[in-house]
Structure 1
């Protein structure tokens, strides 16, 4: 779900900064820039951003996305889901060239290493925010891939730990906001999805009971490491000369990729959930995932955000009615073209594995990422407070709206 691992910006002012305060950190950040320059070139090439010739204090404003597949842009290749396996798959496959499929059209160079940073990823879709929107998240990443290498961080898919990449960016840009999505892979979401789907297709048994036990056994450690990820980001920014008021961190939760049982357009019996809808889950497991697992993780992430004094963006209901197999959405067909207003916003499980890699399954697709990008743009304009982000039925990304979270 959160990145299947191998086994399976015109600037919008958000915090008013006086010129005196900015000049006060000039010397520290210039020194940090000089020390980080070699790493900066490497990291910026990896993220697809152009190196900046400006000094850190006068560099372009930036927002940065870090973490896992739910923010990297996994599944951005797809505009809804279609049963067609030929050509553009009725307009859903953005990798179609007219004669074949080229994932680099969507994921760029990261199509090769599997980080899958799409051109519509959340930060890329957050228009009207900062001069540069930089994505260093990677599909499949865990918290240890965020930590600095000097503090237990581990390179991933041929790239340096994300905090070390951030250090290079902070030295050459005026980073205003850092969006973080992390923790799902620490909980083993991919394995949970695989287990639940297998229990539906093969074993005819439920998964929610034993998988809840798995989550409960891992969640305390996972949340502690999410907290450490925030500490690592703060350490990097401090070392680059930033004060706490110079930037913000927004920790976000995960949207549910599947609907409640009562909101599924396919019956529980038979094979339509497998062969047609791409949502092979029992009703009780669907309800558990939608109304227990996703909220449990969101609530725990909100607690981490509060403890670490960061903003929280709650996405648990972001795709309500737009999930895979949701009654309120439709498959793309010859007579029902792709549409942000009516198509699904989540990538299905491709039962015969003929449409792209399995790691794209159960992630926000192109439309979902446009929605998340709008959520990020909206919270960018809110200097304080926690918010949930929801969609407006029958509308595209422009219909996303925030609600304050107490």
Structure 2
């Protein structure tokens, strides 16, 4: 790509016959294809349950309350291995890699047994950060779609060696006093990973904007995806009812997704040249950044809010959760050998990696360790609010303790 201020073409991919060897920059076309396949391989919980539907039960088991998280990688704990980002590919990566042992890397120390399956549930995952491991059960899985939430008897499908999540929930609810269920789902049904990989490819390879084609793809998928999000809520309720729970025995919180990239005006790297790719890991055109941050993410949040309202569940809006903490944000910096990672100055989302030198591709653009602690505080705050819908936001210059809820209609 030339060092130029010229704007990319409005039409995507002027010629599909271009050889992959002609792609420019360090992120090769095969890496982009892998991004689409792996980015939203969303993780499951540390329970590793392989279960059939539990028999009917007479309501909550006496004992301490337990919270359950269900859905995809944005709640499972994906990217919990990383506290901030660094360009250093060796050692502890300037203190950002929590899997560093001093002589090598052990991702299972962060993701437990779910690392081998690709579910990647980290110990800092939202529900664990909110309530602690003894009062939380995480059955979310990286890469999950709505069909992986449905009960098997109603069309649900197993995923990565685990039973459909509603069937797992049936066993959990029969053995525990479940009072809160948090659900993050729909992003994979919308093809969010493909949107990201196509936008990166249009920056790296085709010199064109991704917004026109990707907006059309989102629009086409939105109706069926939201219908299935609604069905996911219905499946959860049916599961709890079959276990003898009354509607007043528990709550469901449906949450949306944050934007991992900033507006173009808040990107610390210039649009021209390769600094966005080689330094910061956020290769997007300005116009595509603005579309993703201020159109696509809010649109998805609005539709999820409508599903929550229709099904009578609480809604947690995360569209602005990462404001000022995104990858490449002007308000953050990379860790270096002289500047340690920090929850107040580091990015709260994992930057783009091909997986060749730092971690795995599917961790890219997910809330990292710092963000997961903050999301946990947000979940604990909404758990204390028996009714109402809320937005989760952070306070500039503060760590997770500065996260707060703002009421929304």
TM-score when scaled to structure 2?
A: 0.86
1:166 corresponds to 2:169: yes
Partner secondary structure for residue 287 of structure 2: helix
Aligned match of 2:357 in 330, 354, 377? 354
- What pairs with 1:308-323 in structure 2 (closer than 5 Å)? 308-323=311-326
User: Which whole-Å CA distance do the structure 2 matches of 1:354 and 1:235 have between them?
Assistant: 45
User: Which whole-Å CA distance do the structure 1 matches of 2:189 and 2:137 have between them?
Assistant: 24
Aligned match of 2:214 in 211, 214, 231? 211
1:292 corresponds to 2:292: no
Correspondence for 1:73:
77
User: Which whole-Å CA distance do the structure 2 matches of 1:88 and 1:267 have between them?
Assistant: 28
Cα drift, residue 57 of structure 1: 2.2
User: Which whole-Å CA distance do the structure 2 matches of 1:5 and 1:125 have between them?
Assistant: 29
Q: CA 1:175/1:124 → structure 2, altered by over 3 Å: closer, same or farther?
A: same
Partner secondary structure for residue 312 of structure 1: strand
1:252 corresponds to 2:258: no
**1:369-396, Cα deviation, whole Å (9 max, x unpaired):** 1111111011010000000010000101
User: Which whole-Å CA distance do the structure 1 matches of 2:126 and 2:304 have between them?
Assistant: 19
**1:50-108, Cα deviation, whole Å (9 max, x unpaired):** xxxxx952143100000000000000000100000111111000010111111001000
Correspondence for 2:238:
235
Correspondence for 1:195:
198
- What pairs with 1:50-65 in structure 2 (closer than 5 Å)? 56-65=60-69
Cα drift, residue 132 of structure 1: 1.3
**1:134-156, Cα deviation, whole Å (9 max, x unpaired):** 10000000000000000000000
User: Which whole-Å CA distance do the structure 2 matches of 1:266 and 1:304 have between them?
Assistant: 37
User: Which whole-Å CA distance do the structure 1 matches of 2:110 and 2:272 have between them?
Assistant: 36
Correspondence for 1:226:
229
User: Which whole-Å CA distance do the structure 2 matches of 1:297 and 1:334 have between them?
Assistant: 39
User: Which whole-Å CA distance do the structure 2 matches of 1:131 and 1:5 have between them?
Assistant: 35
**1:97-141, Cα deviation, whole Å (9 max, x unpaired):** 11111100100000000111001000011037x951110000000
User: Which whole-Å CA distance do the structure 2 matches of 1:137 and 1:44 have between them?
Assistant: 9
User: Which whole-Å CA distance do the structure 2 matches of 1:200 and 1:58 have between them?
Assistant: 56
Partner secondary structure for residue 252 of structure 2: strand
User: Which whole-Å CA distance do the structure 1 matches of 2:121 and 2:35 have between them?
Assistant: 14
Correspondence for 2:48:
46
1:98 corresponds to 2:95: no
User: Which whole-Å CA distance do the structure 2 matches of 1:257 and 1:82 have between them?
Assistant: 16
Q: CA 1:136/1:382 → structure 2, altered by over 3 Å: closer, same or farther?
A: same
Q: CA 1:250/1:157 → structure 2, altered by over 3 Å: closer, same or farther?
A: same
Aligned match of 1:85 in 66, 86, 89? 89
1:261 corresponds to 2:264: yes
User: Which whole-Å CA distance do the structure 2 matches of 1:308 and 1:352 have between them?
Assistant: 40
- What pairs with 1:104-119 in structure 2 (closer than 5 Å)? 104-119=108-123
Partner secondary structure for residue 117 of structure 1: coil
User: Which whole-Å CA distance do the structure 1 matches of 2:60 and 2:89 have between them?
Assistant: 49
Stretches of structure 1 lacking an aligned partner (at least 5 in a row) = 9-42, 49-54
1:374 corresponds to 2:377: yes
User: Which whole-Å CA distance do the structure 2 matches of 1:291 and 1:392 have between them?
Assistant: 20
Q: CA 1:131/1:97 → structure 2, altered by over 3 Å: closer, same or farther?
A: closer
User: Which whole-Å CA distance do the structure 2 matches of 1:210 and 1:45 have between them?
Assistant: 39
TM-score when scaled to structure 1?
A: 0.87
Kindly indicate whether the alpha-carbon contact (under 8 Å) linking 1:59 and 1:172 is maintained by their aligned counterparts in 2.
no
Cα drift, residue 332 of structure 1: 0.6
Q: CA 1:375/1:343 → structure 2, altered by over 3 Å: closer, same or farther?
A: same
Q: CA 1:304/1:217 → structure 2, altered by over 3 Å: closer, same or farther?
A: same
Kindly indicate whether the alpha-carbon contact (under 8 Å) linking 2:46 and 2:114 is maintained by their aligned counterparts in 1.
no
Partner secondary structure for residue 126 of structure 1: helix
User: Which whole-Å CA distance do the structure 2 matches of 1:348 and 1:257 have between them?
Assistant: 9
Stretches of structure 2 lacking an aligned partner (at least 5 in a row) = 1-31, 40-44, 51-58
Equivalent pairs, count: 364
1:145 corresponds to 2:148: yes
User: Which whole-Å CA distance do the structure 1 matches of 2:227 and 2:240 have between them?
Assistant: 20
User: Which whole-Å CA distance do the structure 2 matches of 1:7 and 1:382 have between them?
Assistant: 36
